[in-house]
Structure 1
Amino acid sequence: MSTQTIPLFPLNAHIFPGGKLKLRIFEARYLRMVRENASNIPAFAMGMMSSKPNQGQFSVLSTATLVKIIDFEQLSDGLLGITIEGIELVCVSNIIQDDDGLRHANYQPIAGWNIPSSQLPYMLSSVNEEKEKVALQQSFSVLLSEYPDLAMLYANDNNMPLVWYAARWLEVLPLDAEEKAELITHQSPAPAINVIYSFLKKMDP
């Protein structure tokens, strides 16, 4: 199998498969990345920045998400805006850097949440998968009502699977990148869903 390489865009904002995110592109290295890869699927990989500096530098975690560009716009300040959608979880390695600072990395797919849906309810704190889904769906709808820009991204995403809502919540929860990476790459979404419920209960006791 030949080694696959891809441009790497590390950021503190997180996106997982099925998620959408708007980005402002202004650095020369990322303008070049978009120009050279806009029509590619995937276009680049969104990396996750470590939450803990090492010798004053924040490293890039091995967990990343391949993304495609689904929209372009010129922002009010004249900068380039793009909207991306997550495609697949990958493990990145052998990161190298061009002269202008643009990173590239080798990557391999990560299976992630591949447990059969029929087994999922028995790994959750409650045993009713549909109940779990409705609860996450309703709480996510409340979140979208509070953030119109986010709501616009998901205007056509209705009645999605349980794991889709779990991934969307995991993207936005105030957790360290390392914890998110551990949860999203676990064989089962159950640990992530239980963490999400714990957070929601604290917000709405």
Structure 2
Amino acid sequence: MCDNSRSVSDRLKELFADETDAITAGKLHMTQGNLNKIKNGRQALTVDNLRLISETYHVSADWILGLKEGRAINDIDLDRLDYSQVFVLIDKLYENKTIEPASLTETIKTSDSYDEVDSEEALDDSQQISTVGIDYDLIRINDPALSFMLRRRVKLIAVDLDIFNDWKEKHLKDYKGIPLLLCDEEMRDYLLNHCSGKTEGDLIETLKNYINLLSKK
């Protein structure tokens, strides 16, 4: 086995270490026999194999090939996120107006919070939100696409974690390459008026159409 093949083999073994061969082969749509050949350097990775492993396990193709030390894609290692990186991501969402702090009426504190709410400001019980031990941490999601994806996530997890994981594997890759858009009034109006919001395909097609529209301006 040449040094490069050994490096790829070592990294794949590291990447798949917490799974059985059956689980890994299922995720990568290959037989366990082919998986073992690739892991042990007896069969070269195809471009399609490399891309699928990278997308499925959220690791850099350069890392798999031994060309760099960090696993991260775009310098963000999803398995080793720290608070600084998370803050930068959130800050970018604020810059693009994707999210914003919720209004006072959406985050008003009930009497079990640290600070008492003035009785003249208090909402009825159906509108109050308990934020025990903190000020408030609610945000408004302005981006209809992100809102759809997060609501879908919550619903699928509530139904079954396997269904959620299946959704992630089959559909999240379809959003790859779609840039984070400036969530202004024009963007929101376009998505809300041109997308049913019922399926991934509808949403992705609407996003792509809007991006094409922007490129022509």
More helix by share: 2
Structure 1 or 2, whichever has the larger Rg, is: 2
> Structure 2 length as normaliser, TM-score?
0.26
Higher relative contact order (CA 8 A, sep 6+): 1
> Structure 1 length as normaliser, TM-score?
0.27
